[in-house]
Amino acid sequence: MSYQTLYRRYRPQIFEDMIGQEHITRTLKNQIRTGAIGHAYLFSGARGIGKTSAAKIFARAVNCTESTDGSPCLKCANCINYPNIDILEIDAASNNRVEEIRELRDKVKYPPVNGKFKVYIIDEVHMLSDSAFNALLKTLEEPPDNVVFILATTEVQKLPATILSRCMRFDFRLPGTDEIKELLAKIFAEIKADCEPSALSLIARLSEGGVRDALSIADMCLSFATGRLTYTDVLEVTGGGGEEVAKLTEAIVTGDSPTALKIAAELGAMGKNIAVLCKDVAARLRMLGIAKITTDGNKILQLPDDKYSEIATLATQVSADKITAAVDIFVRLENDFRYGLNPQLIFENAALKACLLPADLDAARLQVRVSDLEKRLKELEVRLR
């Protein structure tokens, strides 16, 4: 059998498999149990967090003949024979013309063949043209009793208000780092892959809430590691600066401008993505901030003990104000990269700015105010003369 990637192999098959969406799965299960099934649903949220999976589960569940708790049983004929003629999945990104929606509208009037409902899943629905939305509108407003529409989108703001008002809207949230880590640990145990807990924490953080992204990163890391998957392995695979970013952050904290510029230039010469490097530096500075302000920072960061010890030691050498100001410099670079002609120059300039921040910004602000008051006092003395 050909290899199946983790995100395909572990795609949720029942509502209980989904993580971080209990507010949605509970509602959908209750609707199926009570028979209070709506005619149009809108699933919105970021990519890779389960919108299409939830739509497929719901499509199975409404036609399941043996379900007792609202989830599909995966045993009856309607669950096993999926997809089938009663469930139609449409990618609106490539089927966005009015003619295709008119064809769908003509087919809606025909009753389901095997189940109770015909279910139409329209993915990336925001890609439909204006005329296609208009063609869909009347069908959404008054569909046959045995038809259910499920619209999925990552950009809900692009949908017309007339469409939104005719759907039950469910906003999917980004799962937390701990939830994703727990899922990864369960999968690694099932496939018998050895891994450092800190490596799983790093994968979960790098996914930024995207379950599919987390599984894709885990897949790459497993292919890279020859034995136990380590924290360093994940850094290598994901292209993070690793030790170089740590050294750059230390130079910023200590105000060592020559070293910071040298490291920034070396990182650029290594061919690493500059935008990713900026995110890595900002993430490293965030770690410093957590270690500086909290007494149990590693409960949040979940780093290897030696790595956290380095962070905590460095955090004692800098004020919280300087850390937050430095983070602000790097997280504001997105627009600069979009419109700037030289990302390397922008990166080096940001590193230099962060280095030149005063070690104690409160003292620096106070000095500015004192200088301003002295200037005003001298002006007043001149006038009194």
Domains of the chain: 6-171 (3.40.50.300), 177-238 (1.10.8.60), 243-363 (1.20.272.10)
**Could you list the pLDDT tens digit for every one of the 385 residues in the chain?**
578 899 999 999 999 999 989 999 999 999 999 989 999 999 999 989 999 999 999 999 999 988 878 899 999 988 888 778 888 888 888 877 888 888 888 888 888 888 889 999 999 999 998 888 888 888 888 888 889 999 999 999 999 999 999 999 999 999 988 899 999 999 999 999 999 998 999 899 888 888 999 999 999 999 998 888 988 888 888 866 677 888 899 999 888 999 999 998 888 887 777 888 888 899 889 999 999 998 888 888 888 788 888 889 999 988 888 899 999 999 888 777 877 778 888 899 999 999 888 765 555 556 656 777 787 888 787 777 7
Contact between 229 and 333 under an 8 Å Cβ cutoff? The reply is no
d(CA 21, CA 14): 12
11 in helix, strand or coil? coil
Q: How far apart are CA 346 and CA 339, in angstroms?
A: 11
Residue pair 278/340 in contact (Cβ under 8 Å)? The answer is no
**How far is residue 65's CA from residue 77's CA, in Å, rounded to a whole number?**
8
* Gap between the Cα atoms of 60 and 234, Å rounded: 37
Where are any strands of DSSP class E within 247-338? none
The answer to whether residues 148 and 37 touch, using CB atoms and an 8 Å cutoff, is yes
pTM of the model: 0.77
Q: Is 315 in contact with 291 (CB distance < 8 Å)?
A: yes
